[in-house]
Amino acid sequence: MKKVSVDVWIQLIGMLSVLAGLLFVGMEMRQSQQIAISATHQARSQVLIDMINTFSEGSEKFHITMQAFEPGFTLEDDTLSSNVIYQFWLLNENDFLQYQLGLMEEDIWQAKFRGMQRTYNACLFRPETDMILNFVSAEFANHMRQSTIDQCGSE
């Protein structure tokens, strides 16, 4: 049986140390990604809260705007609701980007995408939707148009 030299032991210990260091760095990167995902979710939630709080400043109620998503519902000239639709689409574009970058979990994306489809088919707000989709990324606009059945058709 050969005797292992001290140099070999030192090299082995060095390689094991490097491997342990790489594992530690990998775990830290995963933790950093989780923190980034949490921070982006927090920021998106705050934007939605701010949008809803806008209704507290006027006479219109948020739930009335949400009711306007239903077929046949009408609103008088409602600039506040129109502005919320514009803000909503810009937030959705950001969500689309976050999802593509892997910063949003699949179940959260699916829930948000269902909301986007509902907004796309809120016929009362179709003029706002059609206009703002000209000002977002072409990839996002095409994704919405191609993956959503248009229920407003001839309206």
Local mean pLDDT, 10-residue blocks, the chain (155 residues): 81 89 87 78 73 64 65 68 85 88 89 94 90 92 94 70
Is the Cβ–Cβ distance between 53 and 84 less than 8 Å? no
CB atoms within 10 A of CB 89: 24
Tell me what pLDDT residue 73 has.
64
Helix, strand, coil percentages in the chain from 3-state DSSP, rounded to 5: 75, 0, 25
Is the Cβ–Cβ distance between 36 and 103 less than 8 Å? yes
pTM of the prediction?
0.64
